[in-house]
Every structure is written in structure tokens, then in C-alpha cells.
Amino acid sequence: MDQRIHDHAEVLVDWSARVEDGDDVVVRVDEGAHDLAVAVAEKLGERGTNVLPVYGSDEVESAFVRGHDGDFDQDPDFEVAMLERADAVLSLRGQHNTAAKAAASGEKRSAYKKSRTAIKARQMDTDWVSTLHPTRAHAQNAGMGYEGYKDFVYDAVLRDWESLADEMANLKDLLDEGSEVRLVKEGTDLTMSIENRTTVNSAASVAYDSHNLPSGEVFTAPEATEGEVYFDVPMTHDGARIRDVHLAFENGEVVDWSAEVGEGALEDILTTDEGARRLGELGIGMNRGIDRFTDSILFDEKMGDTVHLAVGRAYSSCLPEGEEGNQSAVHVDMITDVSEDSRMEIDGEVVQRNGTFLWEDGFEG
Amino acid sequence: MDQRIHDHAEVLVDWSARVEDGDDVVVRVDEGAHDLAVAVAEKLGERGTNVLPVYGSDEVESAFVRGHDGDFDQDPDFEVAMLERADAVLSLRGQHNTAAKAAASGEKRSAYKKSRTAIKARQMDTDWVSTLHPTRAHAQNAGMGYEGYKDFVYDAVLRDWESLADEMANLKDLLDEGSEVRLVKEGTDLTMSIENRTTVNSAASVAYDSHNLPSGEVFTAPEATEGEVYFDVPMTHDGARIRDVHLAFENGEVVDWSAEVGEGALEDILTTDEGARRLGELGIGMNRGIDRFTDSILFDEKMGDTVHLAVGRAYSSCLPEGEEGNQSAVHVDMITDVSEDSRMEIDGEVVQRNGTFLWEDGFEG
């Protein structure tokens, strides 16, 4: 077995999930994630946890949803009971066909997803971590060969997370102390208030309130957004391609929008509810192990020299105690490349120019 | 997808497990059983159950066991809670390497197995059914090509179970009314008491107290065994090949034994405990869809024109209320071919000669 699979398992178990002797650990093994599951199981054995592997297959799930009349049980008792007692849930993603969900109708899929809201919330009460084992299907989705895609995934996952966490702390400190962020590049001049908001140093570990491996971003929950922004990184949302999005904000709300591709899908998102036209997240990608876009939000939004904004729901970890933040049924990330001809200011001070931060060599303020 | 996979799923869900709307169904999906899982999930969706797929992989399990120090938790809380609430557990067997368990030491495997005794008992309190999806590894184990092996499996599984159940009821009635069974063939002249014992009509359905698909045997719990018996069907027990076993009984207990191959393994079985030298089961294979031995007890013991005897633990379903029957840590089936030069008598009346039962055409009493 590729040594990197063992290394991946070790980062997941020890750095990300921080399991302890006697923990009850659910391991969700996707169709194509078998090899990573073997490495993770051995590591969990060494740490003295209990393991319950569950099977994650878009094809099996779609078949169930397709067969069902659509009136799904909320909260099936046996799954709730399992998750309530679990200390951690490790999701090892990796399908054999990333389009498999298309085998069930959108209406039933959406009813099924809704029926699982409480299940998902229970999983989020555990020390959950989601990661990806590279499969040929995901390589295909990224438009890459399999060997190259594996290199891409392991470059993103096998970082020196401790030193990346230290570096990201620089930006977290600046954002925690700041009141207003301004983002400027071609087609973009946007200001947001981050007064009284907390920034998450998302260093791919539950110890940092960070549940994705890879991670490598800092994010907070902005409000009172003004101005316009251009997202030049292509995205796929619920199967729809969306490209070259422009949004214009007034008083925190989107008042005008356009997209070169997928404008209908963009409109569907923005008209979901009122919160879908306000920002829920400002995130700054700082994982320089990710060197290209692969049409996967797990990787794309963490890429160094990018900034993403999400319309919709805000994360509670960014909000002051008792404050609700932006509410919405959606949370949709959109990404802009800031590697060239761009700058980010906090309270008028430039903190990043053309992808270089103020504490880095070559920074031009 | 092969139509037979859909047919297999339908037999499993409707005939064997008899699931109902709203049931909580755990589906154990082995490494190689994905396609059957897809068909089963669709069928369960149609029946309106909930589904929780768990992943069954000898390789993942062995990695966990290998990594662990061997002091395994009894009864992990989250798995107990899941099984206690499950209405049915459908195990879809089918590995990619039937020897994968060899990757962990025998001592740790045995400690792990022991730690899971209570988990297994909880599973048996549900409407559980175990079946097999044909993989190349299982074909290899059977010494067959893949296409031929698939034909073999579906011939065994896709029976007219209702009419086989009716036919098996003939033998069940004879055994329920009888007191003594005598089995005679070359190297074999054995008598057993079945007084006051119940016979199970194992028709591959929970409605018949039968939890294997395929099934197709009737079995009971004999005692007071006298005489000798020769088992000419090769078997593998815990990885050890055993062939041409002779056992001699006095007062219900094995007093002499031999095997052409694997005599040490046979001795290990018989010296496990006192109950390991007494019979726990007499079974008569009646599934004529199974036409060859494939070194898999799930199929071999159900084959038409065979009789099997197990040393060790008796099944409670064969015993009168309040009677414990033979107790042992083991239950090891051994098979003898009765298609030629053999007869079985109940209370002196021949009920099967050379594989033909007394109610069948061509029977010579």
C-alpha cells in the first residue's frame, strides 16, 4: 500500500480527530475509500478505540431513495442511538461515480436530505472529521489523471499542520482585532463589517473547531456588506455549473447578480430565502499545498491565494454568545482568485497584496 | 445489472427477512457485495423501511485487530444501541480475499471474536438473515470460474422456497414423530435418539426460524449417539483443511476419531470441552439447487442428498422448553454424501435410500 495512505490515516486519527483510548468511533467508508479504511482501522486499533464502520455509497443511497415513496422517517431510532453514543465520526469520502446521485429524482433527494437534518446535527455534536481518499472518479471530476490526482490530494493533506496553524494565527489575530474588511480586485470592491465576530483558525483539527482534512483557511461571519464582487473560480452546485458570478450588495443584501454560465442556478440559490442574499462567511484560503482548482469545495476553498464568500447560513463558532447571525437554508461558497492585482485591507491597512501577506517576504504594503 | 441480483434482493427482503414499513434495517455490506446492496436498498425503499448500511470487510477488521493490543472492549455502547433498536440485520457476505483474516494473529482474532459474543447475541435477537453475493474470491475458494460460480450461487438461492418448505415439511413431520434415527453407509452405522426434540424446517425465512439464504435443510438436536460415522466431504475449519473423518460414539460421546488430513485440527475441536465430543445437530440437506461442494458451509450443508452432523452446541429451537441441550463453545458441522449405497431409518422404517425420500418417485423402501 502507498505509504501516503498510512500517513493520511495518521494525520486523520492523531492530528484531526484526536481520538483517545476507549472512544467509540464511527468510520464512514465510501465505496472507493477501502484502502484508507484499512490504514485508519489499524491506527484506531493502536489507539485502543472501538470501531464501527458504516458504508457510504451514493449508489446505494440513491437506490434506496429511488425505491421509496418519498415520505421518509425523520430520525430513525437506531441511527440516532448510534450517533448519540459515538465520540467521533470519521468520514472517508471517495465514490466510484461522482454523478451517482442523479439516479434518484431531485424532489425525493431533497426530501431525503431534509429528513436527515437531525441525524446530521447529531453527527456534528461528535468530534467529526471529513476527508477524501483519491479515486479515479474524483480524478475524472478534477480533469486529471489518477496518479497526478493522488499527488494533488496528498500534497494538500500531508502538511505540517502545526506550523500552518501558527501561520494562520497571524491572520486570525488581525481579523479578531479588526472591524472592517475591504477586498479589491478587478470587478471587485467590497467592504464588510466583522466587528465583534470571531475568526476560526481552521487547521484541520477538532482542537481548532475545524472538521475538514485538508483544511487551511481562516473564516469569519461578515455583515453589512457593501459594493460589488466578482468570482472567477468555476463551481458546481447541486450538479449545475456556475461561472463568472458578479454580485452587488447594498445594506448587506445582494441587489443585483449575474453569471456567464448557470445564471438560473445562481438565481435559485439567491431566492431560496432572505438569508440567502446575505453573506454567511468570509474565508481566506491559506493551504499552498493546493495548487489548482479541482471543482471540489473541500479543496478549492482552502487553496492559497484565494478568498471565498458564502451566501447563506453563518457558522455559530464565528458569532458572539447569544447572537444568531445570518440564517438560511443554504450556505453556498463562491471563490475568487487573489494571486494577482488584488488587495485585502483590514480597517484601511493592507494585509494581503497579490496573495502575499504582510508578515511574508516580498510583501508590498 | 444482472437481473438475478434483483431477484436475489427480492427473495432476501420479502421471503427471508419479511420486512415491514417503518422497520429499522441494518444492511451489512461486505467488500464485494456492493451490487447486491444497491438492489437490496432499492427494494427496502419500496417497502418503506429505514436503512443503515454498515461495512463488512475482513481486511478492515483484521487491520483493527492487528493494531490493537488485544484487550478489546466488550459490548461497545454505540453498536449495542444500534442493534438493540434494529428490527432486522441483513448480512450481504462477499469478500475480495477469503484469506484476509490471516493478516492478524490467531490469538488476537480469537480475543476479538470473544469480545463480540454479546454483540452477536443481540444481532440474533433481530430478524437477521445472512446471504452471499458471488465474488471472484469466493469463486476461487470454490475452485470455479466466476461465471460458473454465479450460476451456482443463483441456482441455490433462487428456488421456489414455498414448495421446498412444503416438501421439507414431510421430513420434519416424520422426525417430529420419531424417536430414533439410524444412518447406514460404508463406514457408517450410527443411531441417535431424537425423542422429544423438535425439527426445524429451515426454509430460508425468519418465518421458519431459518436465517440463511440459501437454506434448504431440516435439522434437529440428537443425543445418546451410538456407533460410527464416516464424513467424506472435505471441509475447512478456521483455515485448516480436514478430510475423511471417522468418529466412533459410545453413550453419546466420541470415544475414537481419525482423519486422513488435519487430524490435529480435528483433535483441537473435539478436545475444546466436554460438549465438543457430543452431537449438537443432525441436519439433512434438501436443496437440490446445490449440485456440488464448494468448501463453504453456507452451501455445502444444504446440498441435496447429504447429511451433516455437528459436534458441539445444540440450537435451542430444537429443544423442549426449559431443556438446555448440549452445551459447548464450538459447533462444527461435518458432512457425508448419502446419494449412493446409504439409507436413513426412523424407528426402523427406511425414510431415505440413496438420496431418495419415501414420498418421492423411485423410492425403494
Mean pLDDT by 10 residues, chain A (365 residues): 97 98 98 98 98 98 97 93 97 95 90 88 94 98 97 98 97 97 97 96 95 96 97 89 97 97 95 95 97 93 97 93 90 96 97 96 90
- Other CB atoms closer than 10 Å to residue B279's CB: what's the count? 25
B78/A22 Cβ within 8 A: no
Q: Is residue A223 part of a domain?
A: yes
Q: Is residue A345 part of a domain?
A: yes
Same domain, B216 and B240: yes
Q: Is residue B364 part of a domain?
A: no
Over residues B338-358, the mean pLDDT reads 97
The phi and psi torsions of B109 (rounded to 5 degrees) equal: -60, -40
| Cβ atoms of B336 and B281 closer than 8 Å | no
Q: Which of B157, B189, B204 is the last residue of a domain?
A: B157
The phi and psi torsions of B174 (rounded to 5 degrees) equal: -60, -45
**Positive or negative: CA dihedral A68, A69, A72, A77:** negative
Residues 70-129 of chain B whose Cβ lies under 8 A from any Cβ of chain A: 71, 73, 76-79, 81-86
The CA distance from A87 to the nearest CA of chain B, in Å, is 9
The CA distance from B147 to the nearest CA of chain A, in Å, is 24
B64/A42 Cβ within 8 A: yes
> What total number of domains does chain A contain?
2
CATH number assigned to the domain comprising residue A151: 3.40.1830.10
Confidence at residue B48, expressed as pLDDT on a 0 to 100 scale = 98
Q: Where are the beta strands (DSSP E) in chain A?
A: 24-30, 50-56, 88-93, 129-132, 180-185, 188-193, 200-202, 212-213, 217-220, 223-231, 235-237, 240-250, 253-261, 279-285, 306-312, 331-337, 343-346, 349-353, 356-357
**Pick from A51, A71, A76: which is nearest to B50 by CB?**
A76
Over residues B27-55, the mean pLDDT reads 98
Same domain, A325 and A206: yes
3-state secondary structure A298-357: HHHCCECCEEEEEEECCCHHHCCCCCCCCCCCCEEEEEEECCCCCEEEECCEEEEECCEE
Q: Is residue A364 part of a domain?
A: no
A52/B45 Cβ within 8 A: no
B42/A67 Cβ within 8 A: yes
> Which residues of B fall within a CB distance of 8 Å from A66?
42, 45
Same domain, B186 and B314: yes
Q: Which element (helix H / strand E) includes B228? A: strand B223-231
Same domain, B10 and B118: yes
Q: How far apart are CA A246 and CA A190, in angstroms?
A: 12
Same domain, B147 and B211: no
Q: Is B48 on the interface with A (CB under 8 A)?
A: yes
Q: ipTM value of the model?
A: 0.92
Residue span of the structural domain in which B190 resides: 161-357
| Cβ atoms of B233 and B300 closer than 8 Å | yes
Average of per-residue pLDDT values in chain B? 95
- Sequence letter at residue A352: Q
Q: Which of A127, A157, A187 is the last residue of a domain?
A: A157
Q: Which element (helix H / strand E) includes A111? A: helix A106-115
Same domain, A86 and A119: yes
Q: Is residue A196 part of a domain?
A: yes
Same domain, A201 and A340: yes
> Which residues of A fall within a CB distance of 8 Å from B54?
52-55
Same domain, A262 and A305: yes
DSSP conformation class of B303: B
Mutate to test the interface with B, among A6, A13, A82 (most CBs of B within 10 A): A82
Q: Is residue B50 part of a domain?
A: yes
Task: Please state the pTM of the whole predicted model.
Answer: 0.93
| Residue B365 predicted with pLDDT over 90 | no
Same domain, A180 and A307: yes
Q: Which of B122, B157, B192 is the last residue of a domain?
A: B157
pLDDT range class, residue B113, cuts 50, 70, 90: confident
Residues 10-29 of chain A whose Cβ lies under 8 A from any Cβ of chain B: 22, 24, 26-27, 29
Same domain, A98 and A231: no
* pLDDT tens digits along B315-340: 989 999 889 899 998 899 999 999 99
| Residue B345 predicted with pLDDT over 90 | yes
Q: How far apart are CA B298 and CA B141, in angstroms?
A: 13
Same domain, A339 and A221: yes
Q: Which element (helix H / strand E) includes B54? A: strand B50-56
Same domain, B305 and B323: yes
- CA distance to A204, A293, B280, per residue, from A92 (Å): 14, 21, 44
Confidence at residue B70, expressed as pLDDT on a 0 to 100 scale = 95
Confidence at residue B118, expressed as pLDDT on a 0 to 100 scale = 86
Q: How far apart are CA B236 and CA B267, in angstroms?
A: 14
Beta bridge partners of A193: A180, A223
Lowest pLDDT segment from A71-75, B14-18, B193-197: A71-75
Q: Is residue A365 part of a domain?
A: no
Closest chain A residue by Cα to residue B80: A82
